[in-house]
Amino acid sequence: MRALQQQLINRGFRVENNTVTPTTRACLFNSFNFNHQRLLRIKKHRTTCKLIHRVDGPISVYRGYDDGTDSLIDQVNNTLADVTVFQSRYSLAMSKKIGMSLRQPHVIIPNSPDPTIFHARGREEFDQNRKIRLVSTAWSDNPNKGLEIYKWLDRNLDWTKYEYIFIGRIKAELENITHIQPTDSPTIASHLRKSDIFITASRNDPCSNSLLEALACGLPAVYLDSGGHRELVKEAGIAFVQPGDIPDQLLEISNNYKTFQSKISLASIDEITQQYLDVMEIEHG
């Protein structure tokens, strides 16, 4: 969202935060983290302001428990939204599956990392004559982020072939994987550009920013076949179902590294920005 905001500013738009003025043409609000009643008052008095609701999840599936958040999102959406933006086809399909009736039209617009931070320029070249460098990142220590799979990898990978860093939060004492505490985006990007293959074991993740950031930095991915991962990676990696699949997949990517890396294909933040402007029906700043 920050990258989108900066891109809009670069195009000459005035971007307001948590306020709407008489000249506001569109309002983009995210999930449930905003003042619903305030936006409802705006809707009643500002019929020319198009209201775009960006959702992900479903939250209950992603978190692994239902605390009523999805019902709140559904209610707010049907009360306020003119258009619903999903971050992946998975998110749309799963929302329908659990009975959410989010307002149409439904538009799918994935995320895109900030290209001034997450890019492949200056990355270290892959070299099979050294240990293969693996990396994972995660902000949340929710077990659905892949706890048991990362623990399995820590116990079972061939450490004569690999070195591995995990950046973020995890409720585990890792013996062979180097654990780096959460840090800022530029530092994460630097670690990604020094690594070879990204591993993500998160479950039911609708549009993983961690995975997008790794791909943007030039890393093929080994990923749990869950959530929206397959939509993001496409042919630039291999999906696994069981952790025992991973060693062979790492070997396959290592043996065909340039081919997998060449398949990385992400929408740019400029393309994503244009998709949002199209939804907002805005042509000029």
- The model's pLDDT over 226-270, given as tens digits with 9 standing for 90+, comes to 999 999 999 999 999 999 999 999 999 999 999 999 999 999 999
Mean pLDDT of all residues belonging to the chain: 92
What global pTM score does this model have?
A: 0.90
Q: What type of residue is 246? A: I
Per-residue model confidence as pLDDT tens digits over 67-123: 888 998 999 999 889 999 999 999 999 999 999 999 999 999 999 999 999 999 999
- How far is Cα 85 from Cα 102, in angstroms, rounded to an integer? 10
Res 273 pLDDT > 60: yes
Per-residue model confidence as pLDDT tens digits over 164-223: 999 999 998 999 999 999 999 999 999 999 999 999 999 999 999 999 999 999 999 999
> Token pair for residue 267?
């929408």
The CB density around residue 195, as the number of other CB atoms within 10 Å, is 25
pLDDT computed for residue 238 by the predictor: 98
Task: Give me the domains of the chain, ranges plus CATH numbers.
Answer: 2-112+268-280 (3.40.50.2000), 132-262 (3.40.50.2000)
- How far is Cα 81 from Cα 55, in angstroms, rounded to an integer? 11
pLDDT computed for residue 47 by the predictor: 66
Res 41 pLDDT > 80: no
- How far is Cα 93 from Cα 96, in angstroms, rounded to an integer? 5
Res 285 pLDDT > 70: no
17 confidence band (pLDDT: 50, 70, 90)? confident
Nearest in space to 134 (alpha carbons), one of 177, 73, 187, 186: 177
Beta strand 197-200 pairing with 178-180: unpaired
Beta strand 197-200 pairing with 132-138: parallel
Higher-scoring residue by pLDDT: 33, 202: 202
